[in-house]
């Protein structure tokens, strides 16, 4: 599992947390991507995991890849890592690209996925707009081979967003159209080239897993001809963690502000320190008392987290 450090906008109230995974710190170089080729499998954005598998024999990925590619004009499979919007959501740099029955899930029953942003990829968008050697041009009565396909040009490309609670097996789904050419007025036909929000707040249970399935009007002998790709960004989650507020007092963390050594006293657990970009700067096993050296860290705000079998405690540290 790849540990990926990200910018998370988080609000901690006692043991309650809300945060957003926006992928912004996932890649260091521009116009690049991470498709899992360097292994191991999966992307770890704790407490959210993105499923990824890379086939080294045939050099392709399934599930998720992370990208900051901005080319939204070049058609074809070689541009499979680009969002059709030309950037991430809210004009950000980095986002995820997903294909082949992608899914993401939480690692804690106490964490629920509340929303995420979605868009077309350039590969799928331009295939639908202009057609290619496999996929038809949407709105036309013929397939890519020039044969009448029975659609009369009333084409669509949509995703089924399958929401699940992995604890009790509850399931529900949301239907979202990435392209729709079925309107009586052709001027209303569209292919999504913006970022749209999928709100899961209407789901009656805590959503701990999201799976995505593709469906298109353009199908052939071997399945769907429209490229089965989608772009994802800004995964929002919230959770209530197990340590009661009264147990926050079990931990003494001092001095704060700190210049050199920060002392942590309290029940055993794993102590992590991240900066405001979400990058891990310190990690150690804690057993009643431990010290963390801040002397070489730049001045600023840091987030200290103590994870225990019963939950977690979070403190803001100033240097």
Claim to verify: residue 170 and residue 288 sit in the same structural domain: no
Claim to verify: residue 116 and residue 191 sit in the same structural domain: yes
Claim to verify: residue 199 and residue 286 sit in the same structural domain: no
Q: What is the pLDDT of residue 7?
A: 40
123 φ, ψ (degrees, to nearest 5): -55, -50
Residue 198 belongs to a domain with what CATH number?
A: 2.60.120.1350
Q: Which of these three, 240, 266, 281, is where a domain ends?
A: 240
Residue 265 belongs to a domain with what CATH number?
A: 2.60.40.3080
| Tokens (6 digits) for 248 | 């926050």
Q: What is the pLDDT of residue 240?
A: 64
Dihedral over Cα of 44, 48, 51, 52: its sign: negative
**Average pLDDT of 296-310?**
83
0.85 cut: is pTM over it?
Answer: no
Claim to verify: residue 282 and residue 256 sit in the same structural domain: yes
Q: What is the pLDDT of residue 29?
A: 94
Claim to verify: residue 264 and residue 295 sit in the same structural domain: yes
Q: What is the pLDDT of residue 18?
A: 75
> Where is average pLDDT lowest: 37-46, 140-149, 171-180, 203-212?
37-46
Q: Which of these three, 224, 240, 256, is where a domain ends?
A: 240
Q: How many domains does the chain have?
A: 2
Range of the domain at 11: 2-240
Q: What is the pLDDT of residue 10?
A: 44
Q: Which of these three, 199, 224, 240, is where a domain ends?
A: 240
Each residue's pLDDT tens digit, 151-202:
999 999 999 999 999 989 999 999 999 999 999 999 999 999 999 999 999 9
**With 60 as the cut, is the pLDDT of residue 242 above it?**
no
Q: What is the pLDDT of residue 145?
A: 96
Claim to verify: residue 266 and residue 313 sit in the same structural domain: yes
The CB density around residue 188, as the number of other CB atoms within 10 Å, is: 10
Each residue's pLDDT tens digit, 69-119:
999 999 999 999 999 999 999 999 999 999 999 999 998 778 899 999 999
Claim to verify: residue 197 and residue 271 sit in the same structural domain: no
The residue to which tokens 């009656």 are assigned = 204
Angle of CA points 142, 146, 150, to nearest 5°: 30
Q: What is the pLDDT of residue 248?
A: 63
307 pLDDT band, cuts 50/70/90, is: confident
């Amino acid at each position: 599992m790849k540990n990926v450090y990200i910018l998370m906008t988080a609000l901690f109230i006692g043991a309650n947390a809300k945060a957003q995974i926006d992928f912004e710190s996932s890649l260091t170089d521009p116009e690049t991507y991470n498709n899992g080729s360097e292994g191991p499998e999966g992307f770890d954005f704790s407490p959210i995991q993105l499923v990824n598998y890379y086939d080294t024999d045939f050099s392709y990925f399934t599930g998720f890849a992370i990208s900051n590619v901005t080319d939204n004009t070049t058609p074809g499979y070689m541009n499979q890592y680009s969002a059709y919007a030309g950037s991430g959501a809210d004009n950000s740099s980095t986002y995820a690209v997903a294909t082949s029955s992608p899914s993401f899930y939480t690692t804690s029953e106490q964490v629920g996925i509340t929303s995420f942003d979605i868009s077309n990829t350039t590969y799928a968008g331009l295939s639908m707009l202009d057609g290619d050697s496999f996929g038809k041009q949407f709105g036309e009565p013929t397939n890519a081979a020039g044969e009448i396909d029975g659609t009369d040009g009333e084409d669509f490309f949509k995703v089924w967003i399958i929401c699940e609670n992995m604890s009790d097996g509850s399931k529900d789904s949301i239907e979202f159209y990435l392209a729709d050419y079925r309107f009586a007025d052709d001027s209303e036909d569209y292919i999504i080239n913006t970022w749209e929000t999928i709100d899961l707040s209407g789901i009656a249970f805590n959503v701990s897993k999201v799976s995505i399935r593709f469906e298109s009007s353009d199908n052939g002998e071997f399945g769907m001809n429209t490229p089965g790709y989608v772009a994802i960004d800004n995964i929002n989650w919230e959770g209530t963690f197990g340590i009661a507020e009264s147990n926050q007092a079990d931990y003494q963390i001092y001095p704060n502000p700190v210049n050199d050594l920060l002392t942590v006293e309290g029940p055993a657990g794993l102590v992590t320190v991240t900066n405001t970009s979400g990058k891990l700067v310190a990690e150690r096993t804690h057993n009643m008392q431990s010290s963390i050296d801040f002397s070489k860290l730049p001045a600023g705000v840091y987030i200290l987290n103590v994870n225990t079998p019963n939950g977690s405690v979070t403190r803001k540290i100033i240097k």
